[in-house]
Structure 1
Amino acid sequence: MKKFFAKRLKNEKGLTLIELLAVIVILAIIAAIAVPAIGNIIDNSKDSSKLAAASNILAGAKIAATDGACEESNDGSITCDKDDLKGYVENVKEEKGTTLNYGADKDTDGNWTVTYNGLTNFNSKKYKDESIASPLAESKLNELLSK
């Protein structure tokens, strides 16, 4: 029995310090690659949610205008403010430190623009080079959402 255990202990090998350091270095390299990638994904999703909120406002404004809830001027343009859009727009969140303001306008040519104070501070590389400002034209909003 003694020989059996002595033989087993002799064949047992543990991790050397070099092997342990190699594993730690490999994990550090993987972490160095993964952390910035995850940060970019988070920034992209935050920026995309701002554009989705603007799209939600615009869709609600179109429905509100159809229902006659918005103000129509003599020239045929339509203006929908935050109060007009209550009941038509949901899940639009305000940015930290700001008051939630939004609305939409339709000019006489039928072109819609959305006003939303959440359309600021785009951090992701995806939208960094774009000029995104409120009011934002529907065509530009659709172009940004399709990226």
Structure 2
Amino acid sequence: MRNRIKQLLNKEEGFTLVELLGVIVILAIILAIAVPGIGKVIENAEVKTEENQKELVLDAAQLYFLQIKDDDNKVTVSDLEENGFLEKKEERKEYEVTKVKDTETGKETFTITPD
């Protein structure tokens, strides 16, 4: 009985150094492939977020110009936030929206530029 217990205790099972190094190499290869792809996904998300922010500011500016009859044809994000057309957010970039009216057709054009 005692010999049987010693045999069980001495029977060590585990991974060899070569097996562990093989796993590390495989994980490194997977990371080398995945990290640039994830970086591109994050970059695309940031670009899309900025486009959506611009669209939101442009829509708010159009509402501003419809409701507030002002001789000034420019409005900034700060103005829109102060007048309640946009919710105040710290991470929002500052833009300026300009309204240009064509005198012949009467059509209004809005342009958005970084402020």
Give the structure-2-normalised TM-score.
0.72
- Of the structure 1 ranges 108-117 and 27-36, higher mean CA displacement relative to structure 2 is found in 108-117
Matched with 2:113 is 116
Q: Which amino acid aligns with 1:80?
A: K
Task: Determine whether 1:14 maps to 2:8.
Answer: no
Q: Give unmatched runs, 5+ long, in structure 1.
A: 73-78, 95-99, 119-147
Residue 71 of structure 1 aligns to a residue in which SS?
coil
Task: Tell whether the 8 Å contact from 1:101 to 1:116 is kept in structure 2 after alignment.
Answer: yes
- Of the structure 1 ranges 55-64 and 85-94, higher mean CA displacement relative to structure 2 is found in 85-94
For residues 22-52 of structure 1, what are the alpha-carbon distances to aligned partners after superposition, in whole Å with 9 as ceiling and x for unaligned? 1101110111122112211221122112111
For residues 49-104 of structure 1, what are the alpha-carbon distances to aligned partners after superposition, in whole Å with 9 as ceiling and x for unaligned? 211111111110121122134437xxxxxx3322653422343623xxxxx34114
Q: Which amino acid aligns with 1:103?
A: V
> 1:69, 1:49 → 2: CA distance?
30
Deviation at 1:5, TM superposition (A): 2.3
Identity, % of aligned pairs?
29
Larger radius of gyration: 2
Task: Tell whether the 8 Å contact from 1:102 to 1:117 is kept in structure 2 after alignment.
Answer: yes
Matched with 2:61 is 61
Task: Determine whether 1:81 maps to 2:80.
Answer: no
Larger RCO (CA within 8 A; separation ≥ 6):
1
> 2:111, 2:2 → 1: CA distance?
84
> 1:63, 1:104 → 2: CA distance?
13
RMSD: 2.7
> 2:69, 2:18 → 1: CA distance?
73
* Cα distance, 1:27–1:69 mapped onto 2, change above 3 Å: farther
- After the TM superposition, list the runs of 4 or more consecutive aligned residues in structure 1 that deviate by more than 6 angstroms: none
How many residues are paired up? Answer: 107
Matched with 1:105 is 99
> 1:69, 1:41 → 2: CA distance?
42
Residue 81 of structure 1 aligns to a residue in which SS?
strand
Q: Give unmatched runs, 5+ long, in structure 2.
A: none
Give the structure-1-normalised TM-score.
0.59
* Cα distance, 1:84–1:15 mapped onto 2, change above 3 Å: closer
